[in-house]
Structure 1
């Protein structure tokens, strides 16, 4: 058996589901409506383009008036001047139109330019490998501790030098005692 609370929960769920369905339907209708509007606009543009192509140039083609006037006027036919490059004419009139043999352009200048362009500028010869190689994750820690390590290194070198001096003194002291002992024994 369902209690009244369960009944209201079920009713609320059904009501929420209906609201969601209505919203989805409304949104779909809006998106379909906008798609249809876009399709109609596209069809109108295509129709206008077809009409423009079929009926030639209309007044709406955007050309200035002076160009339109020159297009409508009959133009005189202009012939290009005849240039004879590969044909040796036999007629005297045509011999005057013969183009003289072209001399090949100097290739040496072009080759020099290309060779100069091919020579790259000298690259810096000293390339620090530390800048090229990727850094280790603790490089910043090492950089921060470097000054303290320099101090410790100096102290370590002083201490080592002091120990060497002490060892040398003790060696000499023992050596002197041994030498004195040896002299006493030998005498």
Structure 2
């Protein structure tokens, strides 16, 4: 492996940094975007029971807000219950956008890696080809195997760039889709709970 990196030239080092960064972001996002952490299974049921028992005071709302992204969205709606349904809905949507921004943390960097890696690989190949033709001008093309070997070495950076970019792009799209689904589900759960609290919907928890 080290020989391949070495043969690819100095442009392999930024590609290796991109690769390590992409793997770190993917691992961190898989851990952070777990459904059990974002949308706790029994949280809506617990909030509904607290509401029925008249225990949704300010201290409980603060704990709810800090518990999870879903708790943060629910707390925004419940905390504005005195201002009417429209204000509550707007609060839920505003906080939902903030939560989406937090859940998309590092995804811009992952998308940037997916875009930049092929360009870095291509740049490394261009530099390699320039060096090959420079050597040909100095020493001639007496041995075709030297030319073929030089081209194969130059193409290593392109292959490496694509190898980094393809999984980075796939996971970037995957995580964006997952965040969108989480936010839609959380807003729907918060609105459903608020409608039940106002008697506009039957409690079906």
| Bin of the TM-score, shorter chain as denominator length | under 0.3
> Higher helix proportion, which one?
2
TM-score (norm 1): 0.23
Query: Which is bigger in relative contact order (C-alpha 8 A, separation at least 6)?
Result: 2
